[in-house]
Amino acid sequence: MKSRQQTLIQVLKFFSVSLASGAIDACAGLACFNLLDFSLHGSTTAGFCTGLVFGYFMHQTWTFAVGKTFDPAAFIKFILTNTLLLAIRLGVVQLLLLALLHSPFAGDRLFENAVYLIMLGISFIANYLLCRFIVFRYNDHKPA
């Protein structure tokens, strides 16, 4: 059983790795959107995949400190949960775009960049829950 302090430290580590991974994700995704003229959905996917590998290895070795540099079973779970996370992200983008389809901001690049950033925030919460309770949950049984 984790103490509150251990849980808080783990959440802070997760947040730190997610910020770094999110920065990589956001930079790659926004570059694809603004410089390479990818669609919002395509740039969401490209950014997501770029941050994925970085995030896995940092969470595996530091956030959840499993003690190995690579665990194939955890990596497969990470890929599967992140496939679900990508679907959540694309769904959030689609819902926000549809909800605001007839607004004066529809089609505006600044607005679409804001949609992207909102999606990243929702994605962070879903990602922590998936990693903590599915991918790296076996670490809970490790002695402190």
CB-based contacts of 102, cutoff 8 Å, min separation 6: none
CA distance 59 to 61: 6
Q: Which candidate, 111, 102, 96, 93, places its Cα nearest to that of 40?
A: 93
Per-residue pLDDT of the chain (144 residues; tens, 9 = 90+): 568 888 888 889 988 998 898 899 889 999 999 999 999 889 988 998 889 888 888 888 888 876 666 778 888 888 898 889 889 888 988 998 888 777 787 778 888 888 888 888 888 888 888 888 888 775 454 543
Count of domains for the chain: 1
Distance CA 53, CA 126 (A): 17
Residue 36, SS3 per DSSP: coil
Residue carrying structure tokens 């879903």: 126
**Which range of residues forms the domain containing residue 41?**
4-141
